[in-house]
């Protein structure tokens, strides 16, 4: 909030100060040639103090109006994660929890609940729901991929032994399981293992899976290759 107020003040001063400087100059310098060489000075002198005051008030009101419509004074520069689940997500979780309670062996109900928990950042609950679903459905690659992701984020983006085991189970069922490969690629990239990340992304491209976003994956590969190039240049200097 303080930073925002300071930024607004500095911006307004940067715009308003030249107006007042020009106005004061016209009031103290009354030479006839000023109106010939500086038309703006002539206007300011004729209007007196009304014009700079009017422009100053206009800029102030315009700034306040703009930020009142699109600004977020309280949290625009907050550096923390909102721990409160959005009420729409909470409502979705409650709805799916009731459905799963009424139909504890229904695949769709459990799957929707697991998705809702993950959307709300409740990864531990998502893992528990996926375990129930896996007990009903057996070793399903997609469900195992979901569970690996939920475990990964539950543990603060830690590629733990448990996560690795679940990923291995998913890829044993389907070597091209999308969520598992994307998780491996993302984790590798975040840990600057760019060649490993490229390998996983390339596996996805080779899978010819129509559901994957090829443009996004190709863009990610280009970024990783650029990182490798920059690293190679730096190491040779």
- Angle, CA of 191, 197 and 203, to the nearest 5°: 160
**199-212 burial string, b = 16+ CB within 10 Å, else e?**
bbbeebeebeeeeb
CA distance 140 to 134: 7
Number of alpha carbons in the 13 Å side-chain half-sphere of residue 183: 27
Number of alpha carbons in the 13 Å side-chain half-sphere of residue 159: 14
Residue 237 DSSP one-character state: -
- Angle, CA of 117, 119 and 120, to the nearest 5°: 65
Give the CATH number of domain 178-237: 1.25.40.10
Is 178-237 the same fold as 85-174? yes
Alpha helices, H only, the chain: 2-28, 33-37, 39-47, 50-70, 87-102, 107-119, 123-137, 141-154, 161-173, 178-190, 194-206, 214-236
Q: Where are the domains of the chain?
A: 2-70, 85-174, 178-237
Domain 85-174 architecture: Alpha Horseshoe (1.25)
CA distance 124 to 136: 19
User: Over its length of 237 residues, how does the chain's per-residue pLDDT go in tens digits?
Assistant: 445 556 566 666 776 677 667 666 666 655 444 444 455 555 545 555 566 677 667 767 776 666 555 544 444 344 344 445 578 888 999 999 999 999 999 999 999 999 999 999 999 999 999 999 999 999 999 999 999 999 999 999 999 999 999 999 999 999 999 999 999 999 999 999 999 999 999 999 999 889 899 999 999 999 999 999 999 888 776
């Amino acid at each position: 909030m303080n930073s925002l107020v300071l930024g607004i003040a500095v911006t307004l001063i940067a715009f308003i100060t030249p107006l007042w400087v020009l106005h004061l100059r016209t009031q103290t310098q009354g030479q006839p040639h000023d109106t010939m060489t500086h038309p703006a000075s002539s206007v300011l002198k004729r209007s007196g103090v009304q014009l700079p005051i009017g422009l100053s008030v206009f800029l102030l009101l315009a700034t306040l109006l703009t930020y009142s419509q699109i600004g977020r004074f309280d949290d625009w520069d907050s550096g923390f994660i909102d721990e409160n689940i959005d009420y729409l997500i909470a409502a979705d979780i409650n709805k799916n929890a009731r459905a799963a309670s009424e139909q504890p062996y229904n695949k769709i109900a459990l799957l929707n609940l697991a998705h809702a928990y993950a959307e709300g950042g409740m990864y531990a609950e998502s893992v528990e729901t996926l375990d129930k679903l896996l007990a009903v459905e057996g070793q399903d690659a997609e469900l195992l991929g979901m569970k690996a992701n939920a475990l990964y984020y539950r543990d603060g983006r830690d590629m733990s032994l448990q996560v690795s085991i679940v990923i291995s189970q998913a890829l044993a069922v389907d070597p091209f399981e999308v969520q598992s490969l994307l998780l491996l690629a993302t984790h590798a990239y975040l840990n600057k293992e760019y060649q490993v990340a490229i390998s996983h992304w390339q596996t996805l491209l080779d899978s010819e899976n129509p559901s994957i976003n090829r443009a996004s994956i190709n863009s990610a590969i280009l970024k990783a290759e650029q990182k490798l190039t920059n690293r190679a240049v730096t190491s040779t200097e």
